Amino acid sequence: MRFQRRPIHNRHQAVNAHEMDPLSALSISAAVIQFVEFGHGLITNTLKIYKSASGDESNHVELSIMSKDLSTLAADVEARFAGHGGLAGDMFRRLHQDCKTAHHELENILRKLEARGTTKLALVRSSFLAALKQVTTGADIQALADRLNEIRQQMMVALLSLLMYV
pLDDT in tens, 131-146: 777 778 888 888 888 8
Q: What DSSP designation does 4 have?
A: -
Percent of the chain surpassing pLDDT 90: 0
Kindly state the average pLDDT of the residues 13-30. 69
Quote the mean pLDDT of the chain: 75
What number of CA atoms fall less than 13 Å from residue 92's CA on the CB side?
Answer: 27
Residue 129 lies in a domain: yes
pLDDT at 17: 47
Residue 42: give the domain boundaries. 22-165
Q: List the one residue out of 98, 108, 106 whose CA is nearest residue 75.
A: 98
pLDDT of 78 strictly over 80: no
Kindly state the average pLDDT of the residues 70-80. 77
Residue 11 lies in a domain: no
Residue 1 lies in a domain: no
Residue 123 lies in a domain: yes
Residue 7 lies in a domain: no
Q: How many domains does the chain have?
A: 1
Residue 81 lies in a domain: yes
pLDDT of 55 strictly over 60: no
Residue 66 lies in a domain: yes
- pLDDT tier at 6, thresholds 50, 70, 90: low
Residue 6 lies in a domain: no
- pLDDT tier at 88, thresholds 50, 70, 90: low
Q: List the one residue out of 98, 111, 112 whose CA is nearest residue 67.
A: 98
